[in-house]
Structure 1
Amino acid sequence: MASIESYETKAGRRYRVRFRKPDHSEGSKRGFKTRRDAQAYASALETSKNRGEYVDASAGRVTVGELGPEWVERKRVLKPSSFRPLEAAWRNHVEPEWGRRPVASIRTTEVQAWVTRLSTGDERAVPPLRPKSATTVVRAYGVLAGILDDAVKDRRLSVNPARGVSDLPRKRRKPHVYLSHELVHAVADASKHPALVLVLAYCGLRWGEAVALRVGDVDMLARRLHVHRNAVELGGRIHEGTPKGHKARSVPFPRFLGELLRDQVAGKGPDDLLFPGPDGAHMRSARVHKDNHSWFAAALEAAGAPRITPHDLRHTAAAFAVSAGANVKAVQRMLGHSSAAMTLDVYADLFDEDLNAVADALDHAVSGAVVSRMRPRDARQA
C-alpha cells in the first residue's frame, strides 16, 4: 500500500506519496499541496497497479528518436513498396519534428497542430514548409501513432496522445475515366503491345501484376491468367513479390484474347516473361506512366483517347465486367480486392444501374402479382 508523509518547504507544507512499483522497487511522488490530493493520487495509483495499467513516469522519458528506429526496422518485413514510404516518412517528417521529445511530454493538441501544419504548410518556417499531400500527411501521422502505440504496450505511456487526433486529411479520389470497347481496341491497335493493353482493359490486372506474368501463368484451355507475382519499380530497380494483400488469384480472359495470347507465348519457355521490355527484362512502369513520349502515350494520342495511365485501364475492366452482368463479388475476385465492400466503395458509380434494375424488377413483380390476383375476379365477372 502507498504511504503519505508530509515535509516542509519555503512555500509551506507539502505531501509525498511513497509506493511500491509492480517490480517491487520503491517509487515516490512529491509536491502535493494537500493530503487529500496525495490520497487521491495514491488511490488512483493502487487502482492502476491492480488493473495492470501502471505506467512508470520515468519510463516515459525515452524519446521518440530512441524508439523510432526500432519501430521502422520491424516494418522491414513489409514489401519494399510499403516499407520505403514508411521509412521516408520517419526520416523526413517524424524524426525532425519529434525525435528529441520524450514520449510522455507529447500532447494530443501538439500532434493535431503538426498534422494541420503538414496539411496547410507554414510560410513562417525556415525553410518554408510546403503543404503536403493527404497521403504523405496520413502516412507520417501513422508512423508517429505507431511508435507511440508501442510505447503504450511497453508501459511507457498510459494512453497514446496521437490517437486523439481528429480531422485527418482525406485523399481526393480522381474521377474514374472509362473507355469504350471501340476506344480500347483503337488504343491496342495503335500500340506496340496490343495484347498487354487488352489484358489490362479486359482482365483488370494491376500494371505490376501484368508485367510480372510468365508464359506458364497462361492457361489457354481454361482461359485463365494465374496471378501470383507483382513487379514494383523502386529507386530505379524492379522488385518482384506477391500481389497486393499477398493473395494470388486466377483471372478469366475472353475468347477473343486467346489468339493474341497464343502469339505472345509462341517460342517462349514457361518461365519467360509474357510481356518483356525491350531488353527482355520487366517493362518499366515509370517510362510508361510518366513519359509523355512513351509507347502508351503515343497509342492514346493516335487513337484519340483521353490521357490516362495503363493502371487506369483497370477501371475500364471493372466497367466492362459490370456492364456484362457481373455482380460485385465477381468483380472483387477479378480485381483482387480484399473485400466486396472495397469494390463497392471504389466503383459505386458502376452499380447505380443495378439499383435502377432492382426498381424495375420490383415493378415487374408487383404488376405480375396484381394481375394474377385480378384474374379470378375477372373470370367470375365474365
Structure 2
Amino acid sequence: MPRVWIEDRAEHADYQAAMEAWQEAKRAGSKRQPPGRWRVRWYGPDGKGKAKTCRTVPQAEAEQQALLQRLDKGSYRDPQSAKAAVRLVANEWHGSLRKQGRRTKDDYRELLDLYVIPKWGDWQTGAVQWGDVDQWVTELCDTPGKRGTTLGPDRIRKIYYVLSSVMKHAVKTHRIAVSPCHEHDLPSNDDQDDHIYLTHDQLETLAERAGRYQTFIRTLGYTGIRWGEAIAIKVGRTHLGDRRIRILQAYSDIDGHLELGPVKNHEKRSVPLPRSFAEELRPLVDGRPRDALVFTAPEGGPMRYPNFRRRDWDKAVKSAGLEGLNLTPHKLRHTAASLAISAGADVKVVQLMLGHKSAAMTLDVYGHLWPDRLDEVADVLDAGRGAALSRLRTASVPT
C-alpha cells in the first residue's frame, strides 16, 4: 500500500515566516491567498519524496485520497514532470525515432519547426488541454500556412499527427496521464476528386505508349506499389514462379540524393503478379545478379522521378489520350486498388497489397469502391422470413 500522509506546518519556521509575510502584505492591501498550512507528503514510484501544500484540511484529505488511488492503480504522474516544456518533449520524441527513414524524420522535423513548436513550444506539457488543441485545429483550418496558402486536409492531419505523437510520448514517459490529442474533428481527407481509376484498356494503352518502360508502368498499375518501392525492386526479390514480388526497401530523394531505406510504415510485403504479366518481367530478371535492380535509368542506376516524368511519362500520357486527368505515376496505386476490388479482392487483400498500416486506412480511402451489397442482405432476409412464415403456416394447419 503506498504511503501518503498529511502534516501540520503550524510549528514550522518556514510556514511561520510565510504567514508573517502574508499578514504584512495583507495589511498593505494585498488580496493574495495565505500560504498553505497543511502539507500532503508521499513517495513516488522513483522512491523520491514529494510534497504539495493545501490551505484546508478537506483539501489536503481530498488530495491524499486522489494520490493513494493513482499510486495504487499505477496511473500516478509526478506533477513536476508535467511542467516540462512541450519543446523539450517534442525534441525528445523526435530523437527517439528509430524505425522511420530519413525522409520521414525530416518531414516530422519540418512540421515541428513550422507549426508545433511555434505554437506549443513554451507551454508546460500538462497545461495543454483538449480545448486548446481543438481551437488550434480550427486555426489551422482557417488561417494560411507558413507558405501563405491555405493548408489542405492532409497537411492539417499530418501536423496534428505530429503533436499527437509528441503527447503520446509525454504519456509514455509519465509526464501526463492522458493525451489531449484524441477525438478531435479533423478536416476530411477522403475527397476522391484527385483519384484516377484507369480501366484495363486505359492502363494497357498507357503502358504501350511508354516504350521501354511499359513493364514498369504495368508493375505500378497492377501491384499498387509506390514509386520509391518500384525503383528499388531487386532481381533476387522477384519470384516469377510464385508470381510474387517482395517489397522490402524503397528509395527516398533526400536533397537530390537517392537513399535506400525501409518501406513506408515498415510494411514489408509480397505483392501478386497476374500470370501473363509475370512473364513480361522474365527478360529483366533471368541471368542477372540477385542484387541488380530490375528497373533502371537508361544510363544505369536507379530511376529518378523528375527525369522519368519529363522524358517518358508525360509523353506516354499524352500519346494515350489521358492528358488533362492530372495523372501521375503515384496515382496508379488508385488504379491498382480499383482493379483489384473489381476483381473481388477484400479489404485485407488490398491493404496488404498497397502496404497500408491498417484495413481502416484502406477503407477510408477506397471504401466507396466496394459494392454495398445491401440488396444481397435484403434478399437473404427475405428468404429467411419466407421460410419462417411457411413453417408457421404449416404448424397452424389442423391435422
**TM-score class, shorter:** 0.7 to 0.9
Q: Give 1:167's aligned amino acid.
A: D
**TM-score scaled by length of structure 1:** 0.79
2:53 counterpart SS class:
strand
Q: 2:313 aligns with which of 296, 299, 315?
A: 296
Aligned equivalent of 1:322: 341
Equivalent residues of 2:250, 2:261 under 8 A apart: yes
> Is 1:117 the equivalent of 2:117?
no
Residue 360 (structure 1) shift: 10
Q: 1:191 aligns with which of 194, 203, 210?
A: 210
Aligned equivalent of 1:237: 257
Aligned equivalent of 2:13: none
Aligned equivalent of 1:16: 37
1:311 counterpart SS class:
coil
| Matches of 2:246 and 2:91, distance apart in 1 | 38
Change (3 A) 1:333 1:56: closer
1:77-116 equivalence runs, <5 A: 77-116=99-138
Residue 95 (structure 1) shift: 1.8
| Cα deviation 1:304-352 (Å, max 9, x = unaligned) | 0133111222222233333334444444443344455544443223321
| Cα deviation 1:266-309 (Å, max 9, x = unaligned) | 66433221111233222123444xx5x44212111111013311
| Matches of 2:66 and 2:383, distance apart in 1 | 65
Following superposition, which runs of at least 4 residues in structure 1 exceed 6 angstroms of deviation? Answer: none
Aligned equivalent of 1:170: 188
Aligned equivalent of 2:397: none
Change (3 A) 1:215 1:165: closer
| Matches of 1:275 and 1:328, distance apart in 2 | 29
Equivalent residues of 1:225, 1:250 under 8 A apart: yes
Q: 2:49 aligns with which of 25, 32, 38?
A: 25
| Cα deviation 1:177-236 (Å, max 9, x = unaligned) | 211222212211211411111122223322222211122333333333233222222332
| Matches of 2:88 and 2:359, distance apart in 1 | 41
Equivalent residues of 2:240, 2:279 under 8 A apart: no
| Cα deviation 1:247-271 (Å, max 9, x = unaligned) | 4333332343245323334664332
> Is 1:3 the equivalent of 2:20?
no
Aligned equivalent of 1:376: none
Aligned equivalent of 1:350: 369
| Matches of 1:311 and 1:35, distance apart in 2 | 66
1:272 counterpart SS class:
coil
Aligned equivalent of 1:277: 297
RMSD: 3.5
Change (3 A) 1:297 1:45: same
Q: Give 1:224's aligned amino acid.
A: R
Select between 8-17 and 92-101 the one with higher mean Cα deviation: 8-17
> Is 1:227 the equivalent of 2:247?
yes
**TM-score scaled by length of structure 2:** 0.76
Change (3 A) 1:265 1:45: closer
| Matches of 1:225 and 1:128, distance apart in 2 | 40
Which residues of structure 2 form unaligned runs of 5+? 11-15, 27-32, 391-399
Select between 142-151 and 212-221 the one with higher mean Cα deviation: 142-151
> Is 1:140 the equivalent of 2:159?
yes
Q: 1:209 aligns with which of 220, 229, 233?
A: 229
Change (3 A) 1:68 1:355: same
Equivalent residues of 2:153, 2:188 under 8 A apart: yes
Change (3 A) 1:181 1:20: same
